[in-house]
Structure 1
Amino acid sequence: MPSATKKVTVTRKSEGRYVATNARGGQVRLGSGADDDFTPVELLLAAIGGCSSVDVDLVTSRRDEPQQFEVVVSGQRMVDETGGNRLDPVTLDFAVHFRDTDEGREAAGLVERLVKLSRDKECTVARTVASSTQVTFKVDGKTLD
């Protein structure tokens, strides 16, 4: 069942440098990897990690503030059977730790279950990447063959 459409606009700033702008006016710089701006692949990895981080953080931080909350997201770049580039596999490694208190132990006890819930149901980004989502390319509104 469809819900709200999500959209960003990517605008060229100079050769190999772009800005992505969301509907709320937020912006992220990206580029070709020639400088310290994120590449599109790095942004994809950040989006996957960020999506699951939000899923875990919003619940655990109601119990206790984490002492450490870090998610390392990596992907192996490969050439598939069609000769196209992609990442496979993509791995998320959560390091989420809390104080040794009743609240901290309660929060820590939720981490594994919340990571699994994010993977299996909640994280739109990871689930989109993992599924066979249709991606349509257009030029000036005309769908490419």
Structure 2
Amino acid sequence: MSENQNPTHSIELTREATNRYVARNAAGVEVTFGRGEDLMSPVELLLAAIAGCSSIDVDTVTSRSSEPTEFRVEASGSKVAEENGGSRLEDLNLSFNLSFPDDDGGRKAAGLVDRLVKLSHDKYCAVSRTVEHGTPVEFDTEVTTGGETTTTDQ
């Protein structure tokens, strides 16, 4: 499925304008996002990452038997305010809507979907598993003003 090795993943984010950013991976692939009518928000990107990770797991296996005639996944979550003034998502949900041809390959692929979704959730999708396990996020900063640099770890 999608995560078979222990590679280090990273992206570089750069600012294009106020509330507009580009994330770029080592291969040079870019995603523009931020806050604005023409942009996907960071929260929407998180939902897309969860849906995409599980979709890859399901699609990789089912498409060996049959090409889907429809492959649509809706990812949703509710943003909640916390007592400390912060916010987070809860009630995360993926809804898979798949269709396959009415032939032997299509029926075989359709018969695999529930098991593959469960395997993705329980074992293979590093994105949803990271969210569910609550992996800590560390921060460090380096800020330069007038040639003087300040570095901190948080």
Deviation at 1:97, TM superposition (A): 1.2
CA separation in 2, counterparts of 1:24 and 1:136?
25
Larger CA Rg, structure 1 vs 2:
2
Q: What SS does structure 1 have at the residue aligned with 2:102? A: coil
Deviation at 1:3, TM superposition (A): 2.3
Residues 1:3 and 2:13 are matched in the alignment: no
CA separation in 1, counterparts of 2:37 and 2:17?
13
Deviation at 1:81, TM superposition (A): 4.0
Counterpart position of 2:146: none
Deviation at 1:134, TM superposition (A): 1.3
Q: What SS does structure 2 have at the residue aligned with 1:113? A: helix
Normalising by structure 1, what TM-score? Answer: 0.94
Aligned residues: 142
Deviation at 1:142, TM superposition (A): 2.7
Q: Residue type of the partner of 1:75?
A: G
Output aligned runs, 1:59-78, within 5 Å: 59-78=61-80
Unaligned runs of 5+ in 1: none
Give the share of equivalent positions with the same residue, in percent: 51
Q: Residue type of the partner of 2:111?
A: G
CA distances 1:5-53 after superposition (whole Å, capped 9, x unpaired): 1000110001110100001100000011x22111100100000000000
Runs of 4+ in 1 over 4 A off after TM superposition: none
Output aligned runs, 1:1-145, within 5 Å: 3-32=6-35, 34-140=36-142, 142-144=152-154
Q: Residue type of the partner of 1:114?
A: L
Q: Residue type of the partner of 1:4?
A: P
Q: What SS does structure 1 have at the residue aligned with 2:64? A: coil
CA separation in 2, counterparts of 1:129 and 1:73?
14
Unaligned runs of 5+ in 2: 143-150
Q: CA RMSD of the aligned region, Å?
A: 1.3
Q: What SS does structure 2 have at the residue aligned with 1:90? A: strand
